[in-house]
Amino acid sequence: MDPSVGGRLADHGRGFTAVDGAGALPVGIVSEAFATRMWPDRDPIGRRVQHRFNDTPTWVTIVGVAEETRMTRMTGDNPNVLFVPLAQSGAPEGPVLVVKGAGGAPPLTAVQAAVRALDSRVAVGRVTTLEAVVAGAVAEPLRLRFFLTVLGALALVIGAVGIYSVVSYSVTRRRAEFGVRLALGAAPRRIRSEVVRSGLTPVALGVVAGLGGTLALGSTVSRFLYGVEPIDMVSLAVAAAALLAAGLLAAAVPGLRAGRTDPVTALRAD
């Protein structure tokens, strides 16, 4: 809950007016998430809830529903938010002033000077830009994304090396077989395609299983994301293509070597 005046009305109820002072009937405005969770399929206007903004239980009457706003963090589920008039909140904190410039963000020094010009006795706690607030809020997710990207790239390289090693070992063991088949007239292209297909099959199965798990867990992952859809088909397609390309490259090198097997040398070695 947030003891502040804010939020645009979601075309339901009314906003705060001058009559909602300290001695008036306590009123409040709830967020859309609050209204949906508390009174599903019912009209929240006129209902009463209790808050403890000033450590004293106070019952307020809901007079409006505000549009959903990120109040505490950029990611995760929206919390239940209750807005009350500042005069009725009893909050010791001062109000938050949001300034919007005509050509962009005004200089911070200009904002401080404007406040001093209005009333030199007003103490300004902190002046910052909205971009700085958002950057600070998403700093930790960005660091996590960097480390996850590094770990993902490392896992991709290790997986490609593993596929290459397994396919290469298989080609080495089947060297005599490939030599006999080539000596009997088998096409090198057929042997190459067989080796690549055997190495790429488990990769394709893994990609299908991974996509299925991603689609199944999309709703769970969404609470850790900001500005990104949990089921982003473009991202999923790029990731699947990268995995398949890495598997294809890892299997293609031993496949080329298998297709170039010299029958005489292979049979003489055995």
Are 228 and 255 in the same domain? Answer: yes
Tally of domains within the chain: 3
Final residue in a domain of this structure, among 114, 137, 160: 137
On whether both 117 and 204 belong to a single domain, the answer is no
pLDDT score for 227: 58
Report strand pairing: 9-13 vs 27-31.
unpaired
Q: What is the pLDDT of residue 154?
A: 92
On whether both 117 and 179 belong to a single domain, the answer is: no
Q: Which domain holds residue 113?
A: 98-137
| CA–CA distance, 264 with 242 (Å, rounded to integer) | 38
CB atoms inside a 10 Å sphere around CB 51? 17
Closest Cα partner for 84 from 65, 60, 68? 60
Tell me, yes or no, whether 148 and 253 share the same domain.
yes
Domain match, 104 and 49 both:
no
Return phi, psi of residue 261, to 5°: -65, 130
pLDDT at 4: 40
Say yes or no: 158 and 236 in one domain: yes
Over residues 48-102, the pLDDT tens digits come to 888 877 777 888 899 988 887 776 666 656 677 888 887 777 665 566 677 776 6
Q: Are residues 84 and 164 in the same domain?
A: no
Pair 9, 77 in one domain: yes
End-to-end CA distance of the chain: 79
- pLDDT (0 to 100) of residue 250: 87
Among residues 46, 80, 96, which one ends one of the domains? 96
Q: Answer whether 257's CB lies under 8 Å from 195's CB.
A: no
Residues in the chain predicted with pLDDT less than 70, given as ranges, are: 1-11, 71-78, 90-96, 101-106, 219, 221-230, 263-270
83 φ, ψ (degrees, to nearest 5): -100, 135
Alpha-carbon distance of 247 to 160, in angstroms, equals 6
Residues 73 and 147 grouped into a single domain: no
